[in-house]
A and B are shown apart, each in its own frame.
Chain A
C-alpha cells in the first residue's frame, strides 16, 4: 500500500530535550516536506527536500532541522524543543512532476 508513515504519532516532552520525528514514504517520491498545523493558521511549511541531499527552508524553519540521506526518509529534528513548538506536524511527499501531495497521519507534539 502506497503510504507516508510518521513516528511517533503522539509525543509529550520537556523543554530542551532533543527529539526526532521520523517520516518515510514507499512511493519513490523525489519531493518531501514538513508542515505544522496550528489553529487559525492552517498548515505552514517548515522544510522541504527536492531530492536526496537537497533540502531548503520553508516559511517557519526556526528551531527545526531536517536531513535527506535516503530518498524514502525525511526526519524532522528538534534540537532544543520549546513550548511554542507544540503543534500537529505532517509529513508529505510528491512526485517531482506530480500534482498531489500525499500526507502522513500526523504527529501531535506537546512540549512542556
Chain B
C-alpha cells in the first residue's frame, strides 16, 4: 500500500544552518506530495506541495522537488531560524485521486541560537 518514509528526528541545528529532511514515498502511480508543519500546540498547516514529477514546491524559504526517479521529496531550507522549530510531516495523496493523505512519522526540528 501507500507509504511515506522520512528521516527520524530530532534534528537540532544552529540558526542560519542548512536544513535537509529526507522523505521517500512508495511509487504507486503519480501521487501528489506535501510537506506539512506542526508548530507546538497547534494543528498541521500545509507548507508546500508538488503535484507532478519535477515540480518544485516552495514557501517561506523552504523548497522540495518531486523526484520520480528516486521517489523522493526532500525538504530543504538554506538558512533556518529559531521560529522554524516545529515538527515536519511528509505526506502523499492517493494516486487514484482520492483525498486520503498518508503521512510519514514526522521529524522534529529544533533550531538554537
Contact = CB atoms under 8 A, between A and B. Distances in A.
A61 interface: no
State which size class the interface on A falls in: 20 to 34
A41 B89 CA distance: 11
State which size class the interface on B falls in: 20 to 34
Contacts of B103: 35, 42-44
A48 interface: yes
Contacts of B106: 42
Contact of B42 (A58, A99, A105): A105
B100 A105 contact: no
Interface of B: 4, 32, 34, 36, 41-46, 49, 51, 89, 93, 99-101, 103-106
20 contacts: A4-B43, A31-B99, A42-B106, A43-B101, A45-B101, A58-B100, A90-B43, A94-B99, A99-B32, A99-B34, A99-B49, A99-B51, A100-B46, A100-B49, A101-B44, A101-B101, A103-B43, A105-B41, A105-B42, A105-B43
Given A42-B89, A99-B34, A106-B43, 14 more contacts: A33-B100, A41-B105, A42-B4, A42-B104, A42-B105, A43-B101, A43-B103, A50-B99, A94-B99, A96-B99, A100-B46, A103-B36, A103-B43, A105-B41
